[in-house]
Amino acid sequence: MCLAIPGKLVEIFAEGGLKMGRLDYDGTINKVCLEYVPEIVIGQYALVHAGFAITILDEEEAAHSFDAWREFNNIREKEGAITFDNRPGKVRD
Amino acid sequence: MSDNDQVPSWSGAPVCPLPLTNHETVQLAHGSGGRMSAELVAKFFQPRFSNPYLDRLEDQAVLPRPAGRLAFSTDTFVVDPLFFPGGSIGDLAVNGTVNDVCMSGATPLYLSVGFVLEEGLPLATLHRILLDMEKAAGQAGVTVVTGDTKVVPRGSCDKIFINTSGIGVIPEGLALSAASLEVGDQIIISGTVADHGMAVMTCRQGLSFHAGITSDTAPLSSLISEMLRATGAIRTLRDPTRGGLAATLNEFAGTSGKGLEVVRELIPLRPEVAAACEILGIDPLNVANEGKLVAVVAADAAAGLLAAMRHHPLGREAVVIGEVVASHPGLVAVKNAMGILQILEMPLGEQLPRIC
Amino acid sequence: MKYLSEYRDPQVARQILAEIHRLTTRPWVVMEVCGGQTHAIVRSGIDQLLPKEITLVHGPGCPVCVTPLETIDQAIAIAASPGVIFCSFGDMLRVPGSSRDLLTARSAGADVRIVYSPLEALQLARENPASQVVFLAIGFETTAPGNAMAIIQAEREGLENFSELVCQVLVPPALRALLASPANLVQGYLAAGHVCTITGLDEYWEIARSQRVPIVATGLEANDILEGLLMLIELLEAGRCEVLNQYSRSVRPGGNLPARAAVNKVFEVVDQKWRGIGELPGSGLKIRQEYQNFDAAQRFAVGKIKVAEPVECISGLILQGLKRPDACGAFGSRCTPEKPLGATMVSSEGACAAYYLYKPLN
């Protein structure tokens, strides 16, 4: 029940007074309720749980994470510490 | 009866005009052996399958003496919905039995067809299914030589059930068997997995789901001929239908008493099928295939066999996915993305009901 | 799949694992709360690659597993009632009740249907006005907003044949209960990213400060969990009782406001019994008075049901993280996903099911 899958919004429409959409998951298209992500626009990615979009995936945050890991080896050599944005620097006693 | 019984727009082939009868739907009398039965045979079945054996319309087909040992198989098809992207119950009924027969290396020759029809089934639906069967039989090179039809009252069966039995002749000296697996043998899959099961599953979800997934239903006889021509070192062949690749590999391990090891990342999967599996929480290794085969071949013959398979339209994505190993006899192990080996069990029942 | 496959990249996983090994200087006991996290861990096998100083304890975050036996029996009784179309997520069908499960009830003629969303159940209610459609609304905070919307919509449309049998549970009260238990050894928590997506992180800050434990909200892919674990180990090694958000691409500090508003509109907080754990104050949701027409527990008087747990099942201990699935005498023999003794073996988020499905070769 905690499982939520990411898909790309390709269509928005109304059904029964509810904001609905269609998400594309690598070629599989699924109908989803968008009432909980009212600000979502076409092209954005959402996480869907039990037929409801529960969040718009933040592409910047996601890219941040990748870039952090891609550069990880360099940074580690230079500073001898772990650097993630808005996470504590390592403190050793 | 649901909307899925309507002639679907994706069926593709030009539709033969519906034979004229006094009825639009199947009646109980169509199965009673009397005039309406005869009319059904004459107008619906015979035009699709006409051949010297069938046309005699005897109680049995009298066939010529076979040129060698016979492979004989039967299967019953109850798929729901009747029409799905890539095919129909008619395609499955022909290809399914053809494939079971030719996994022995046999050239499939003859089919019998038995129908159980639900009273009220639209004749247009039956006609559409028969057209699919005609086309499939032609592609597979098999002849439908005998058949039977029963009609049951509304509610006693779900629209249409089809049984087909098939006979083929096995080449002299060929004895494929999962018992002959040896350590070091390579395990090959002819293409992407889970296409059929997910095509049917996503189709069942109806309006919620539009997957670009089509069933892979196809007759594998010509691919197998090419494979047997390429090498004599094939140990066994099997088509991973219900229970998917997991069931087939476990059957091999059980029969041979050997251990099998496959690498999950090597098993080909279409992206949209992978996505559908994620959404529905299904392991693609447990999902039915209707146009794929698994081959186990001696290690030194694997490269040559792959080359031959990739030359054939149904084997373009053939790939080695694992091998027979000395350790963990009788068990199938899968290496996951992190390189950890996990036991792959025989799948549980009812994961995907009425998939073929 | 985009936003999925990247978080399963084994190369990145190995990098994170190397860092975890480097940072860990002493034993730590860490709990992953969510069943989805448990499955991702066991499926990817990362639990076998962690430093031996780290003990991973599986938490109670499996809504199917913690649904009280009474509710299961109630569901089966309602499903077996004439004129009822009973809708549920697939998992629930084989969870054993006192004497049978929903699947057996279906074989005996009950109209039980698998749905993937409460909206599908709502659609069935529209299409079958002569039937009573009941949806089994089980879940954590992630699922409550959808279940709330179905009721809001049913009321808007004036549907008289739709109701929900509700067993919604809340994570923070369970965490508090586990922390309060004298048997608790857990020093840090990996919180469920999708639950936090809805609720935000405020309640977790309250727990972190008052109970002096670090908490990291993580996503459900292997690398999300590894990264979250790395962050948690950092906090533990530094003695910092903070709440961090590994899943920043999905979790916003304030959570999902429209979703929480809908939940508050339809549901109210109540004390709730958790199977295997007992009654926890303020740990569940119940349909409010104003929407009681949509409460299946009130619509169908199925009476007080006498419940009996199978003697051999240790689900309760497993849900509290006190025992592992393979410590159970029945695991894999008398209890399998096909013939489960308890919910933890049949749920897609149950720890026993995870151990069974992804058995390592050694």
Ordered per-residue pLDDT tens for chain C, 362 residues: 788 888 888 999 999 999 999 999 999 999 999 999 999 999 999 999 999 999 999 999 998 889 998 999 999 999 999 999 999 988 888 888 888 899 999 999 999 998 889 999 999 999 999 999 999 999 999 999 999 999 999 999 999 999 999 999 999 999 999 999 888 999 999 999 999 999 999 999 999 999 999 999 999 999 999 999 999 999 999 999 999 999 999 999 899 999 999 999 999 999 999 988 889 999 999 999 999 999 999 999 776 666 777 778 888 889 888 899 999 999 989 998 888 888 888 787 889 989 988 888 87
Q: Please give the Cα distance from C169 to C267 (Å, whole number).
A: 11
**Which among B24, B281, B34, B328 is positioned nearest to B183, based on CA atoms?**
B328
Residue A88 in contact with partner chain C when CB distance is under 8 A: yes
Which of B169, B193, B225 marks a domain boundary?
B169
Domain residue limits, chain A: 5-57, 58-93
Contact in structure between C321 and C57 (CB atoms under 8 Å): yes
Any idea how long chain C is? 362
- Residue B237: which pLDDT band, with cuts at 50, 70 and 90? very high
Q: Is 70 exceeded by the pLDDT of residue B4?
A: no
Overall number of domains in chain C = 1
- Residue B354: which pLDDT band, with cuts at 50, 70 and 90? low
Q: Residue A66's CB: how many other CB atoms inside 10 A? A: 13
Residues of A in contact with C34 (CB under 8 A): 2
Residue B342: strand pairing partners: B334, C360
A-C interface: how many C-beta pairs under 8 angstroms? 145
Identify whether residues B133 and B188 lie together within a single domain. no
Residue C252 in contact with partner chain A when CB distance is under 8 A: yes
Give the three-state DSSP class for B244: helix
Give the three-state DSSP class for B152: strand
Residue C28: strand pairing partners: C54
Beta carbons of B207 and A31 less than 8 Å apart:
yes
Q: In what order do the strands lie in the sheet with C278-287?
A: C111-114, C84-88, C132-139, C162-169, C278-287, C267-274
Instruction: Let me know if residue B188 belongs to a domain.
Output: yes
Identify whether residues B188 and B301 lie together within a single domain. yes
Q: Please give the Cα distance from B34 to C283 (Å, whole number).
A: 69
Query: What integer pLDDT is reported at residue A89 of this predicted model?
Result: 30
The structure's pTM equals: 0.87
**Which among B274, B241, B261 is positioned nearest to B328, based on CA atoms?**
B261
Query: What integer pLDDT is reported at residue A21 of this predicted model?
Result: 96
Residues of C in contact with A68 (CB under 8 A): none
Q: In what order do the strands lie in the sheet with B70-77?
A: B70-77, B160-169, B107-118, B143-152
Q: Is B229 exposed, middle or buried (0-12, 13-18, 19+ CB in 10 A)?
A: exposed
Residue B44: strand pairing partners: none
Any idea how long chain A is? 93
Mean pLDDT of B295-321: 98
Instruction: Let me know if residue B355 belongs to a domain.
Output: no
Mutation pick from B201, B213, B273, B278 vs chain A, by most beta carbons of A within 10 Å, is B278
Q: Please give the Cα distance from B123 to B231 (Å, whole number).
A: 47
Q: How far apart are the first and last CA of chain C?
A: 31
Structure tokens at A57: 């995936």
Residues of C in contact with B275 (CB under 8 A): 1
> Closest to B275 (Cβ–Cβ): which among A22, A28, A31?
A28
Query: What integer pLDDT is reported at residue A86 of this predicted model?
Result: 25
Q: Please give the Cα distance from B70 to C312 (Å, whole number).
A: 52
Residue B285 in contact with partner chain A when CB distance is under 8 A: no
Q: Is 70 exceeded by the pLDDT of residue A5?
A: yes
Amino acid at C357: L
Contact in structure between C317 and C183 (CB atoms under 8 Å): no
The model's pLDDT over B142-167, given as tens digits with 9 standing for 90+, comes to 999 999 999 999 999 999 999 999 99
Residue B206 in contact with partner chain A when CB distance is under 8 A: no
High-pLDDT (> 70) share of chain B, %: 92
| Dihedral in degrees, nearest 10, Cα atoms C209, C211, C216, C218 | -130
Amino acid at B7: V
Beta carbons of C156 and A17 less than 8 Å apart:
yes
Query: What integer pLDDT is reported at residue B356 of this predicted model?
Result: 65
Query: What integer pLDDT is reported at residue C266 of this predicted model?
Result: 98
Mutation pick from A22, A28, A32 vs chain B, by most beta carbons of B within 10 Å, is A28
Q: How far apart are the first and last CA of chain A?
A: 41
Mean pLDDT of B7-17: 55
Beta carbons of A28 and B207 less than 8 Å apart:
no
Beta carbons of A54 and C197 less than 8 Å apart:
yes
Instruction: Tell me which chains share at least 3 CB pairs under 8 Å with chain C.
Output: A, B
Residue B64 in contact with partner chain A when CB distance is under 8 A: no
Which segments within chain A are labelled E, that is strand?
5-15, 18-25, 28-33, 45-49, 52-56
**Which among C321, C326, C328 is positioned nearest to C31, based on CA atoms?**
C321
CATH class for domain A5-57?
mainly beta
Burial code (b: 16+ CB inside 10 Å, e: under 16) for B88-105 equals bbbbbbbbbbbbbbbbbb
Instruction: Let me know if residue C336 belongs to a domain.
Output: yes
Identify whether residues B134 and B257 lie together within a single domain. no
The model's pLDDT over B98-135, given as tens digits with 9 standing for 90+, comes to 999 999 999 999 999 999 999 999 999 999 999 999 99
- Residue B352: which pLDDT band, with cuts at 50, 70 and 90? low
Q: Please give the Cα distance from B40 to B53 (Å, whole number).
A: 18
**Which among C148, C118, C119, C139 is positioned nearest to C260, based on CA atoms?**
C148
Closest approach of A12 to chain C, Cα-based (Å): 17
Identify whether residues B114 and B185 lie together within a single domain. no
Residues of B in contact with A47 (CB under 8 A): none
* Residues of C (268-327) whose Cβ lies below 8 Å from A: none
Amino acid at B265: E
- The DSSP letter of residue C134 is E
Closest approach of C185 to chain A, Cα-based (Å): 24
Structure tokens at B197: 């099961």
Give the nearest chain B residue to A30 (CA atoms): B209
Query: What residues of C are in the B interface, CB distance below 8 Å?
Result: 1, 4, 8, 10, 13, 43-46, 48-49, 90, 103, 116-117, 120, 222, 337-338, 348, 357-361
Gyration radius of chain C's alpha carbons:
20
Phi, psi of B309, deg, nearest 5: -65, -45
> Closest to A26 (Cβ–Cβ): which among B202, B209, B272?
B272
**Which among B316, B341, B289, B323 is positioned nearest to B99, based on CA atoms?**
B289
Which of B169, B197, B213 marks a domain boundary?
B169
Beta carbons of B336 and C44 less than 8 Å apart:
yes
Beta carbons of B271 and C1 less than 8 Å apart:
yes
Q: Is 90 exceeded by the pLDDT of residue A59?
A: no
Identify whether residues B13 and B157 lie together within a single domain. yes
Residues of B in contact with A25 (CB under 8 A): 272, 275-276, 278-279
Closest approach of C45 to chain B, Cα-based (Å): 6
Identify whether residues B139 and B57 lie together within a single domain. yes
Query: What residues of A are in the B interface, CB distance below 8 Å?
Result: 3, 5, 22, 25-31, 51
Q: Please give the Cα distance from B275 to B212 (Å, whole number).
A: 11
Structure tokens at A73: 């080896």
Q: Is 80 exceeded by the pLDDT of residue A92?
A: no
Phi, psi of A32, deg, nearest 5: -145, 150
Beta carbons of C15 and A57 less than 8 Å apart:
no
- Pairing state of beta strands B70-77 and C278-287? unpaired
How does the average pLDDT of chain B come out, rounded? 91
The model's pLDDT over A6-48, given as tens digits with 9 standing for 90+, comes to 899 999 999 989 999 999 988 888 899 999 999 999 999 999 9
> Closest to B276 (Cβ–Cβ): which among A28, A31, A51?
A28
Q: Which domain holds residue B81?
A: 3-169
DSSP string for B324-339: EESSSTT-EEEE-TTS
Residue A69 in contact with partner chain C when CB distance is under 8 A: yes
Residues of C in contact with A38 (CB under 8 A): 258
Closest approach of B341 to chain C, Cα-based (Å): 6
Q: Is C27 exposed, middle or buried (0-12, 13-18, 19+ CB in 10 A)?
A: exposed
Contact in structure between C83 and C130 (CB atoms under 8 Å): yes
Q: Please give the Cα distance from A49 to A4 (Å, whole number).
A: 5
Structure tokens at C361: 């070769």
Q: At how many degrees (to 10) do helices C222-238 and C35-44 cross? A: 100
Q: Residue C254's CB: how many other CB atoms inside 10 A? A: 11
Identify whether residues B109 and B233 lie together within a single domain. no
Contact in structure between A26 and A45 (CB atoms under 8 Å): no
Closest approach of C97 to chain B, Cα-based (Å): 19
Q: What ipTM goes with this model? A: 0.91
**Which among C85, C132, C130, C127 is positioned nearest to C109, based on CA atoms?**
C85
Mean pLDDT of B72-90: 95
Overall number of domains in chain B = 2
**Cα angle value C109/C113/C114 (rounded, 5°):** 140
Q: Please give the Cα distance from A53 to A37 (Å, whole number).
A: 7
Q: Please give the Cα distance from B199 to C120 (Å, whole number).
A: 20
Instruction: Tell me which chains share at least 3 CB pairs under 8 Å with chain A.
Output: B, C
- Pairing state of beta strands B186-189 and B209-211? unpaired
Contact in structure between C19 and C229 (CB atoms under 8 Å): no
Identify whether residues B48 and B187 lie together within a single domain. no
Residues of C in contact with B341 (CB under 8 A): 360-361
> Closest to B341 (Cβ–Cβ): which among C44, C337, C361?
C361
Beta carbons of C192 and A2 less than 8 Å apart:
yes
Residue B70: strand pairing partners: B169
B-C interface: how many C-beta pairs under 8 angstroms? 52
**Cα angle value C42/C44/C50 (rounded, 5°):** 75
| Dihedral in degrees, nearest 10, Cα atoms C264, C268, C274, C278 | 140
Q: Which domain holds residue C137?
A: 1-357
Amino acid at C320: Q
Amino acid at B42: A
Q: Where are the alpha helices (DSSP H) in chain B?
A: 35-40, 46-49, 52-55, 89-102, 123-140, 195-204, 221-230, 244-256, 271-280, 302-310
- Pairing state of beta strands B107-118 and B160-169? antiparallel
**Which among C18, C27, C1, C32 is positioned nearest to C225, based on CA atoms?**
C32
Beta carbons of A27 and B278 less than 8 Å apart:
no
- Residue B5: which pLDDT band, with cuts at 50, 70 and 90? very low
Question: Which residues, in sequence order, are CB contacts of B21 under 8 Å at separation 6+?
Answer: B39, B43, B123
Beta carbons of B275 and C103 less than 8 Å apart:
no
Q: In what order do the strands lie in the sheet with C188-192?
A: C54-61, C28-34, C188-192, C215-218, C243-245
Residue B146: strand pairing partners: B112
Beta carbons of A8 and C34 less than 8 Å apart:
no
Residues of C in contact with B338 (CB under 8 A): 10, 13, 44-46, 49, 222
Here the CATH number for the domain that contains residue C168 is 3.40.50.11740
Beta carbons of A27 and B212 less than 8 Å apart:
yes
Structure tokens at A8: 């790309």
Identify whether residues B95 and B238 lie together within a single domain. no
